[in-house]
């Protein structure tokens, strides 16, 4: 009887968890290890991966992966590689729609700060600044400005430029190879 009760409790507790979640929610902890993921562009202060959650990894002013940290490479205006142009963070909607770049350059065609561009105009359907659009409305579940939305646009870091010496793929590997060549065994 105790075994049946244990099986019943296990089924009641764990089957909804196994079958009731989408793949993204089921593996949401994997985002912590994704080097390009920088959180969600959201006004939701309670979502764990929101850029507005000041206690979360992506919203804290002390986190190196936060766009709110003025000393990180993604949040500092002094870091010219990521603050403007083609190396600034990308914004993608829940459905994979490209929504522009997160930077302060008002003349960048892909910037959400460009009031006349496709991704910054308040009249464009692909803009997070459109108060009546899918990604900017106060009532849309996919909107960056809805404080209760959980399916908001995601922010991704661009690939960082690779700095290496000519002829060396990895200086540490070549150093270790040189050390192992001289061993007597």
Model pLDDT, residue 73: 79
What is the rounded average pLDDT of the residues 124-129?
A: 92
Model pLDDT, residue 119: 94
Query: For residues 17 and 3, what is the distance between their CA atoms, to the nearest angstrom?
Result: 21
Tell me the DSSP string of 17-32. Answer: HHHSS-HHHHTGGGGG
Q: Over 80: is that where the pLDDT of 134 sits?
A: yes
Say what the pTM is: 0.66
Model pLDDT, residue 77: 59
Percent of the chain whose pLDDT exceeds 90: 37
What is the rounded average pLDDT of the residues 103-111?
A: 88
Query: For residues 22 and 185, what is the distance between their CA atoms, to the nearest angstrom?
Result: 53
Model pLDDT, residue 41: 92
CB 126 within 8 A of CB 134: no
Model pLDDT, residue 124: 93
What is the rounded average pLDDT of the residues 12-37?
A: 53
Residue 114 dihedral angles phi and psi, to the nearest 5°: -85, 105
């Amino acid at each position: 009887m105790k075994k049946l009760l244990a099986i019943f409790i296990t089924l009641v507790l764990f089957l909804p968890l196994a079958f009731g979640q989408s793949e993204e929610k089921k593996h949401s902890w994997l985002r912590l290890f994704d080097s390009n993921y920088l959180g969600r562009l959201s006004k939701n202060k309670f979502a764990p991966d929101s850029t507005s959650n000041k206690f979360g990894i992506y919203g804290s002013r002390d986190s190196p992966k936060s766009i709110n940290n003025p000393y990180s490479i993604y949040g500092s205006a002094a870091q010219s590689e990521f603050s403007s142009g083609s190396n600034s963070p990308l914004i993608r909607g829940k459905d994979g729609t490209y929504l522009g770049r997160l930077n302060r350059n008002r003349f960048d065609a892909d910037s959400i700060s460009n009031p006349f561009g496709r991704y910054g105009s308040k009249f464009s359907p692909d803009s997070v600044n459109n108060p009546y659009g899918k990604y900017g409305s106060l009532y849309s579940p996919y909107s960056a400005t809805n404080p209760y939305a959980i399916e908001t646009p995601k922010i991704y870091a661009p690939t960082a430029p690779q700095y290496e010496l000519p002829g060396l793929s990895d200086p540490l590997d070549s150093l270790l190879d040189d050390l192992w060549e001289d061993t007597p065994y």
